[in-house]
Structures are given as C-alpha cells and as structure tokens.
Structure 1
Amino acid sequence: MNNIKAWIGDFTAIIVGLIGLGVVSGVVFGDVPFVGGIANNFTATVNMLGDAGAVGALVLAILVGLFD
C-alpha cells in the first residue's frame, strides 16, 4: 500500500511540474503545440473557483490539501 501511495505522489509531482512547464512555455513562447491554452485554462479555472464563492473556497482548500 505504501508503494502505491509513493507512486501516486511521484506521479502527481511530475504532473504538477509539467503543468508549470506548460504555463511558463505558454507565457514565454505563446501558443506552443501540445501545451497551447494551458495558461488560459488555468486562469479560467481560477476565475470559476472565484465565482463559486464558498464552494470554490472549499474546493481550493481541498486541492491545496491534496498537493501539500
């Protein structure tokens, strides 16, 4: 069970790193193939959470807890 948890944690860390790389490459190089629109999708998600009020704050707290 601990191996599975460690594997999931490692996989999540890789995905978060790739998302960060996609956002940075989108800002630096513009619309890059295979990572196009990541920054737009990220800002849309943040705006959606902001518009949701208390539910958005709860979801954000859960997401931060998952990545912490």
Structure 2
Amino acid sequence: MIMDIVTGLTKIFVAFIGFGVVAGIVFGGNAFLVGDVLENLLGVVSMLGDAGIVGLLVAAILIGLLK
C-alpha cells in the first residue's frame, strides 16, 4: 500500500517536471506555476556532470528508480 502511494506520487512529480519543462520552453521561464524548472533541471544535470563517476552512479540510480 505504501509503495503504491510512493509510486503514484513519483509519477505525479515526474509528470509535473515534464509539464514544467514544456511550459518553460513554450511560455518562458516566468510562466505560472513553472518557476525556474528548466534552470533547476539544468543545474542538477550540471552538478551530476561535475561530480564525475559519483554523478554517473547517481544518475544511473535515478533512472533505475524512475523506470
């Protein structure tokens, strides 16, 4: 039961991130409820890239969790 709740919340958050990226591209960074999703996402990707092998491992774990 708890895993179903966590899975549902994860799907909602991933969908919101996708919506934020698309809305940020279409309407710009100041769109309502979007904020700086693109900047934050690019910051996370940059941070993982700067971390080297640890960043690669974290990215692999995140991809595995989201599948």
Structure 1 length as normaliser, TM-score?
A: 0.90
Map of 1:12 onto structure 2: 10
Structure 2 counterpart of 1:24, one-letter code: V
Shift of residue 59, structure 1, vs aligned partner = 0.5
Shift of residue 35, structure 1, vs aligned partner = 1.2
What RMSD over aligned residues (CA atoms) do the two structures have, in Å? 0.9
Map of 2:21 onto structure 1: 23
The 2-side partners of 1:41 and 1:18 are apart by 13
The runs of at least 4 aligned residues of structure 1 exceeding 4 Å deviation read none
Percent identity of equivalent pairs: 48
Structure 2 length as normaliser, TM-score?
A: 0.91
Map of 1:49 onto structure 2: 48
Shift of residue 36, structure 1, vs aligned partner = 1.4
The 2-side partners of 1:13 and 1:67 are apart by 8
Map of 2:60 onto structure 1: 61
Q: Number of residues paired by the alignment?
A: 66
* Structure 1 alignment gaps of length 5 or more: none
Structure 2 counterpart of 1:64, one-letter code: I
SS for the counterpart of 2:31 is coil
